Amino acid sequence: MVPEQGLVSPAGPARILIGVTADVSVGLLSGLPQRLAADGWDVHVASSPGQRLEALGAEQGVTVHPLAMAREIDVARDLRGLRDWMGLIRRVRPDVVFVGTPKAGLLGITAARLVGVRARVYHLRGLRLETASGVMRRVLASMERLTIRLSTKTLAVSPSLRQQVVSLGLASESRVTVLGHGSSNGVDVERFAPGRPVAEVDGLIPGVPVIGFVGRLNHDKGLEVLAEACRLLDDERVDYQLLIVGGVDGAELTPFSRLRRPPIVLGAVDDTSMYYPLMRALCLPTLREGFPNVVLEAGATGIAVVTTDATGAVDSVIPERTGLLVPAGDAGELAVALRRVIEEPDLAAELGAAAREFVVENFRRDAVHASVSGFLRDEMVRDRP
């Protein structure tokens, strides 16, 4: 393949080193390394070792590098991680370093600066500090501020995330960019689409509206708020059933055990596209996001969404047109919105149909990838001597 014009460095095809912290986060890159390779980049990807990284290494044009990193703060391991990042960068000699997730961002951008990589792009997918407090919040803020300062450009995945970065004093407006309407990685609108195969789930009651949750089961997703909203629906004798799809990541599901009809909890699944069609609406009661992929997936499937005005989530729907928006942390307002979609199937259908149009127009994965590829090419060219 002949590289695109502007994708040639003195040593040959332009080389990019992409990094995320954990192997599970390789899924956040789905399709992007392959697109960059097709566009003429010599693509390298680093993350902690795991099956997803290994599978990516089997793709043509993509070289992977296992690099152990701790997700939580661990000074000794982080110093070793910085050393390892510097060694990797010296071996790969990338023209661009493009890293996301907090730890890989800090270590990768710092190492790139120390080694002398001219184009250093931080892919900001969210702010953990939003739901932290005390010393931990200050430490996380310092990490983000340093990473952004050492990068040549920060690419935020949503307009509200960019606004939050600026309002918290982590960076000036000129340091942070959003492409189009945002999005972490776009959505495959052929895979997530009306009329696709539907999963069979034991325990679902035919004819009873299903409210679904899809995602990691952790505190930041607002599961405690969802449980309280469901309790309020029970008090009002609203007939519904709750389907929870996702692996446990620190959240307690005990509050749901007190509901009149306990939820069906499936755990992590290989293909979430088969579960959205079961739902009257997807509920994401999140307290913070970068840009929620599950909202785009549900919307692309033609399913109504009820979510919050939290950072990132607020960008994912057009209120009252493609979904319903409630204040983050407000179980009462969440219950009111859920009752609307449960008891008004025509409203849910209208929201879902409009959501499909909204996602296809603004968040197709191929279009998002093309935008990112062009942005990275421009950054490389801009930072040449």
pLDDT value, residue 1: 36
3-state SS, residue 235: helix
pLDDT value, residue 5: 45
Residues 178, 250, single domain; the answer is: no
Residues 278, 308, single domain; the answer is: yes
Domain-located, residue 337? yes
pLDDT band at 262 (very low <50, low <70, confident <90, very high): very high
Domain-located, residue 198? no
Residues 173, 261, single domain; the answer is: no
Distance of alpha carbon 124 from alpha carbon 219, whole angstroms: 20
pLDDT band at 249 (very low <50, low <70, confident <90, very high): confident
Segment 79-107 shows an average pLDDT of 96
- Containing domain of residue 101, as a range? 8-186+365-382
∠ CA 253-254-256, nearest 5°, is: 75
Domain-located, residue 70? yes
pLDDT value, residue 384: 60
Instruction: For 335-384, write each residue's pLDDT tens digit.
Output: 999 999 999 999 999 999 999 999 999 999 999 999 999 999 998 887 56
Instruction: For 62-78, write each residue's pLDDT tens digit.
Output: 999 999 998 888 888 89
Average pLDDT for the chain? 93
- At 86, which helix (H) or strand (E)? helix 75-92
The CATH code of the domain that includes 172 is 3.40.50.2000
Segment 35-43 shows an average pLDDT of 96
- At 221, which helix (H) or strand (E)? none
pLDDT value, residue 263: 95
Residues 234, 263, single domain; the answer is: yes
pLDDT band at 3 (very low <50, low <70, confident <90, very high): very low
Residues 219, 295, single domain; the answer is: yes
Domain-located, residue 339? yes
Residues 101, 245, single domain; the answer is: no
∠ CA 371-376-377, nearest 5°, is: 100
Residue 140 in this model has a pLDDT that exceeds 50: yes
pLDDT value, residue 385: 53
Residues 237, 92, single domain; the answer is: no
Domain-located, residue 3? no
Per-residue buried b or exposed e for 247-261, using 16+ beta carbons within 10 Å of the residue's own CB: eeeebeeebbeeeee
pLDDT value, residue 197: 92
Residue 2 in this model has a pLDDT that exceeds 90: no
